[in-house]
Amino acid sequence: MSDTLDLTVELIRRPSVTPDDAGCMDLIAAKLEPYGFKTEWLNFADTRNIWLRRGESAPLLCFLGHTDVVPAGPSEDWNSPPFEPTIRDGQLYGRGAADMKSGIAAMTTALTRFVSRYPNHKGSIALLLTSDEEGAATNGVVKVIETLKNRDEKIDWCLIGEPSSFVSLGDVIRIGRRGSLCGVLRIFGVQGHVAYPDKAENPIHRFAPALSELTSEVWDQGNEYFPPTSFQISNIQAGTGAENVIPGRIEVLFNFRFSTALTEDQIKQRVHAILDKHGLRYELNWRLSGAPFLTTQPELIEATQKALETVLMRRASPDTGGGTSDGRFVAPTGAQVVELGPINGSIHKVNEHVRIEDIDKLSKVYEQVLVNLLAS
């Protein structure tokens, strides 16, 4: 097996279900410290974050990843135990294989090879890992970026190892992500007996016309880089569980995935306008999970595309799809952000896997990005 495959296997064996790191970062630090990377722990609450940096001068290229994984679910549903990495039919199986322990391993071995070849490289290189990406993401990269900002430590280029590829390695790179805006809406009525609706006020009935308007609203048309903004109800709860009681309130959870064609404030204003138009008594609490971001500067995108051409003989399709990533915390600092990783078809699923041949190829692509940007 290759060094990158060996390291991926070692990482998968560690059951680092969010926010537990399970020793993954210690393993990576031990690999990089002999190559001149200085280790700094930036831990907050139950989250481990490690900042490994080599060099002091600008520009700074940062590789970004997360060691935490989502729960595996019932182990009997897997063809092999989720935290016992298993190779069959050219695939490596295990929780985190694609999202994103193979990416972390590929970054690590790419860094060691690059530093061996170019010990006097330009600028600086860093690897930032967190154990809080799959969970609440409140004590991970967002806190590290605050720390770096407070001491004027600026990332110029950030390459994230999220599984971006769709059908084959390197067919898609993310150059941005949609924003995510969540809402908890409570609509109030008057509880009563279903036989006496005149003495009650059913909040479900009151909300129904507003719900129809919210779900049929065209929020925007998207733009050159983003699809139109989407609105989705994720949960509705009401009632006492009895069939003869009109509920006194209803709680609705919803989410907007929005493009750069809209702002957070514009969405909020339009939602409140619809609710107020229907005369509802309500309270609404908002939570911005992340604003949309888009990298338009060419340096990191082109360095990544040229690396794909050199190693895989292809260029990727630039894309802004998928969910949120930790890029949403880095991009507001002015850093150029690109996401490139393995195929994402099995992520968060039973029998998550990654192609063995892709692991080494990805490491070579990462190394070539380093060469393109920082070779002396």
> CA nearest 249: which of 185, 196, 200, 189?
189
Q: Measured between alpha carbons, how far is 206 from 188 in angstroms, rounded to an integer?
A: 9
Q: Measured between alpha carbons, how far is 28 from 160 in angstroms, rounded to an integer?
A: 16
From the candidates 68, 326, 339, 367, which is the catalytic residue?
68
From the candidates 20, 21, 99, 133, which is the catalytic residue?
133
> Is 68 an annotated catalytic residue?
yes
| CB-based contact 173:180 (threshold 8 Å) | no
Q: Measured between alpha carbons, how far is 349 from 95 in angstroms, rounded to an integer?
A: 8
For residue 374, how far is the Cα from the chain centroid? 26
Structure tokens given for 319 = 């894309």
**Hey, how many other C-beta atoms are within 10 angstroms of the C-beta on 207?**
22
Q: Measured between alpha carbons, how far is 232 from 250 in angstroms, rounded to an integer?
A: 17
Decide: helix, strand or coil at residue 43. coil
Decide: helix, strand or coil at residue 257. strand
Residues designated catalytic: 68, 133
